[in-house]
A and B are shown apart, each in its own frame.
Chain A
Amino acid sequence: MRIGVVTFPGSLDDGDAARAARLAGAEAVRLWHGDSDLHGVDAVVLPGGFSYGDYLRCGAIARFAPVMESVIDAARGGLPVLGICNGFQVLCEAHLLPGALTRNQHLHFRNRDQWLRVESTDTAWTNGFTGGQEVLIPVKNGEGCYVADQRTLDELEAEGRIVARYIKGNPNGSQRDIAAITNEAGNVVGIMPHPEHAVEALTGPSLDGLGFFTSVLRALAGATAGGQQSGGHQ
C-alpha cells in the first residue's frame, strides 16, 4: 500500500508523517504541492506545519495548490485522506470537511501531550481503534479552535462524525471538545493533534498514533478484497 504525503511550502511534519506511514507498514510516497499527479497512491496525508506561512488564513492558500485539485477530486471519489493540524485546516478550507479552525481561545500556542477519546471507529483512519478508546497524542497549534454553526455541530453529533474529542482538558476552546471529524463517507478525516508524533517510544508519549496509519492499511486491504474504494460509511 502506498500512502502519499504532501509537502507544501512551509510544511513541517511531512517527514514524520512519511516515517509513521513506513512504521505502519506502508510505502511512503512524497507528493509535491506544485505537481497535480498523485502518482497512484492509495491514500493521502496532508501534514502539519505552516503552509504558505499561514498567510491570509491557515490553509487558505494551500487549498489552491495544484496537488489539491487532484486530492479534492480523489477524496470525493473515496480516496482516504487524513489532514493533520494544518492539513485539517486545509481540508476545511477546501470544503471537504465542514466548519473552520480559528485562533485558540486563550491566544496561546499550545504544545503538550493530549488525551483524546476516539468516538467514531467507522472511518478509514480509525477502524483499528475501539469505540471510546482513550489515546495520548501530542497537540501543538495556535489556531486549533474548531467552530461551526449549531446545526452543523448537531449533524456531526447525530451522524457519528465526531471522530475524537479532547478529554482531561480542552487545549484550544474547540466547540464540543472536537479534536477530529470526518466527512459523510468516512474516507476524509481531519485531526488537530499529531498522531504521526506518537509512533515510537523514543520520540512520542505513546504509540497510539500508529493506529491511524494501520487503520487505513486495513481499510485499503478490505477495500481491495471487497471491491470497494474506501472503508467508510458507504
Chain B
Amino acid sequence: MARVVVDVMLKPEILDPQGQAVANALPRLGVNDVSSVRIGRRIEIEFAGEADLDRVNEIADKLLANPVIEDFTVNVAEVA
C-alpha cells in the first residue's frame, strides 16, 4: 500500500477570507505576532499497490485543485 498526499492552497494573489477571519481571531488567544494565516486542503490518496504519481498529478490538476485559483503539491507519505 502507498499513500500520496496532495496539498491544495489558494494562489498567493487570491484573497483568503477564511484565513483572514482566523488571523483576526488570534489576538483573542493572546497571539499578536502572526502576520498572515492561509487555509488550504490536505488530501490523502491510498493506492492498493505502488503509488502512481503521474495519475495523482492528473487527479489533482483535473479535480482536486482548480488551477484558476489554486496551486497543489504532491508528496509520497511514509505509511506506518
Contact = CB atoms under 8 A, between A and B. Distances in A.
Interface of A: 56-57, 60-61, 64, 92-93, 98-100, 102-107, 147-149, 173
B69 A105 contact: no
B68 interface: yes
8 contacts: A57-B66, A61-B63, A98-B68, A99-B68, A103-B18, A105-B17, A107-B18, A147-B68
A103 B17 contact: yes
Contacts of B69: 100, 102, 147
B53 to A, nearest CB: 21
A8 to B, nearest CB: 16
B1 interface: no
Contact of B63 (A64, A100, A148): A64
Size range of the chain B interface in the assembly: 10 to 19
Contact of A60 (B13, B14, B21, B63): B63
Given A56-B64, A147-B69, 15 more contacts: A60-B63, A93-B66, A98-B68, A99-B68, A100-B68, A100-B69, A102-B15, A103-B17, A105-B15, A105-B17, A107-B18, A107-B21, A147-B14, A147-B15, A173-B15
B60 to A, nearest CB: 11
Nearest to A61: B63
A92 B25 CA distance: 32
A58 to B, nearest CB: 10
Contact of B68 (A64, A104, A148): A148
Contacts of B18: 103, 107
Nearest to A93: B66
A102 B64 contact: no
